[in-house]
Amino acid sequence: MTGGTDTGGHGGEVFSVAFAPDGGFVLSAGWDGHLRLWEVSSGAQVTALHASPKALSACAVSPDGKQWLSGALDGMLSSWDPATHRQLSAVLAHTRPISMILFSPNAQELTTASWDRCIGVWNQVRDHDGRVLVGHDDIVGGCRFTPDGGHLFSWSHDRTARVWDLARGQAAATLKGHRDRVTAGAIAPDGLWGATGARDRVLMLWDLRTERAARSACLGGEVRGCFFLPDGESLVTIDNHGRVVLHSLPDLGERQELLTRRAVQCAELAPDGGAIALGGEDGRVSFLAVDGLEAAALLVTPTQTTRPTASRWRRLFGGPPLTHTYACTCPRCRHAFELPNGALGQPASCPSCRRSLRLSQVARPA
């Protein structure tokens, strides 16, 4: 990991940073009620939008890049046209501040985590069709989808993390072990591991198959971000003092350390894992380069889908009415594609950017 550029900043704390789908730009939300867009390569501010008289506590960029989303301290969720800065929609999503906004892997659902102890799940295809996940006993700090989109991993100030079955709309597992509020979380690219960091300065690695803690490590400060790298072999943590640590998996050994000496409020990993954006308590946004991933095969989880078999021979002679296919999304360029027959278990590469991929176990449809 190497240090990057500083960008100037917000007029107050930066509460959320979100990468655009191509990884070249970052949207930030802060105390000053502004959304600000930054170019990662230069660190320059591209544009700013005054989105709310209240502080903004969360932001996101839609998977197609055509919407910015903001979440405010009053629970208002708004969407904006990046080109014209025109407000497209606004809804009171929660009764207290929104702490995270997140799109599902297939972009059909949007989730909002909130201080009101709830998680909202909004259907992007059917407007105003939403559900609420209830179970945490305190502020929900954030959430992440599993690679297949069928489950959600959330963390809370109630000192727990939870795995939610989205089809049933209920918690499938509650993970206990922290002694203080959980402030960061992540899901591995293969969906087999979860990670949480807390104000107790402890990082915990969870085996989601057994729903038990597999390993823990004590860090130097309150954890403000933790991310599995796309190669599936490393985990990055960032604490409130700006200490960035690269951990090996699954032992959580410290492989590399970078001291930024910045008071970090929030952090986000680029879609391809090549950069980290840091939002500071001083209103600044900074970027770090993640080295060593250029040639590494990126771990992806194929998703099994089914479709009707359209075949003249099947109509004449019978046969299975459904065909199983396996779909992937490249972590680097976000290109979605189907695997050729017989490709499971074999080395693969993205047909668009040619990046080498390592296939994990198949995720069944939710």
Tell me which of 258, 289, 320 is where a domain ends.
Answer: 289
3-class secondary structure, 26: strand
Q: pLDDT of 199-223, one tens digit each? A: 999 999 999 999 999 999 999 899 9
Under DSSP, the state recorded for 155 is E
- Residue scoring higher pLDDT (159 or 9): 159
3: confidence class by pLDDT, cuts 50, 70, 90 = very low
202 in a structural domain: yes
Tokens 């680029």 — which residue?
270
CA torsion through residues 128, 151, 231, 275, sign: positive
Q: Is 203 found in the same domain as 277? A: yes
For residues 86 and 65, the answer to whether their CB atoms sit within 8 Å is no
Query: Rounded CA gap, 196 and 323, in Å?
Result: 38
For residue 8, what pLDDT is reported? 56
366 in a structural domain: no
Query: Helices H, strands E: what count in the chain?
Result: 1, 33
315 in a structural domain: yes
| Residue range 330-340: mean pLDDT, rounded | 75
For residues 111 and 122, the answer to whether their CB atoms sit within 8 Å is yes
4 in a structural domain: no
- Which tokens sit at 272? 């391809």
Q: pLDDT of 245-303, one tens digit each? A: 999 999 999 999 999 989 999 999 999 898 999 999 999 899 998 876 556 667 777 77
Q: Is 25 found in the same domain as 59? A: yes
CA–centroid distance for 120 within its chain: 16
8 in a structural domain: no
* CA-based nearest residue to 331, from 231, 233, 213: 231
- Residue scoring higher pLDDT (331 or 361): 331
Q: Is 339 found in the same domain as 227? A: no
Q: Is 185 found in the same domain as 261? A: yes
- The number of beta carbons lying within 10 Å of the beta carbon of residue 76 is 19
Which residues 6+ apart lie within 8 Å of 106 measured at CB? 149
For residue 331, what pLDDT is reported? 73
For residues 81 and 67, the answer to whether their CB atoms sit within 8 Å is yes
Structural domain range at position 350: 298-359
For residue 343, the one-letter residue type is A
Q: Is the pLDDT of residue 7 over 80?
A: no
5: confidence class by pLDDT, cuts 50, 70, 90 = very low
For residue 293, what pLDDT is reported? 55
Tell me which of 267, 289, 311 is where a domain ends.
Answer: 289
Does pTM surpass 0.95?
no
Q: Is 177 found in the same domain as 150? A: yes
54 in a structural domain: yes
3-class secondary structure, 344: coil
Q: pLDDT of 27-63, one tens digit each? A: 999 999 999 999 998 888 899 999 999 999 999 999 9
22 in a structural domain: yes
* CA-based nearest residue to 276, from 64, 23, 65, 10: 23
Query: Rounded CA gap, 97 and 160, in Å?
Result: 20
CATH number of the domain enclosing 100: 2.130.10.10
Q: Is 226 found in the same domain as 284? A: yes
Q: Is 280 found in the same domain as 169? A: yes
Q: pLDDT of 88-133, one tens digit each? A: 999 999 999 999 999 999 888 999 999 999 999 998 755 556 789 9
Q: Is 347 found in the same domain as 261? A: no
231: confidence class by pLDDT, cuts 50, 70, 90 = confident
Instruction: Assign 3-class secondary structure to 289-322.
Output: ECCCCCCCCEEECCEEEEEECCCHHHHHHCCCCE
If one counts the domains in the chain, the total is 2
Q: Is 21 found in the same domain as 39? A: yes
Mean pLDDT across the chain: 87
Q: Is 106 found in the same domain as 48? A: yes
168 in a structural domain: yes
Q: Is 67 found in the same domain as 206? A: yes
Strand partners of residue 195: 186, 205
Which residues 6+ apart lie within 8 Å of 5 measured at CB? 42, 43, 286, 287
Which residues 6+ apart lie within 8 Å of 116 measured at CB? 75, 94, 95, 96
Q: pLDDT of 141-156, one tens digit each? A: 999 999 889 999 999 9
- For 238, list phi and psi in degrees, rounded to 5: -130, 130
Q: Is 124 found in the same domain as 85? A: yes
Tell me which of 269, 289, 309 is where a domain ends.
Answer: 289
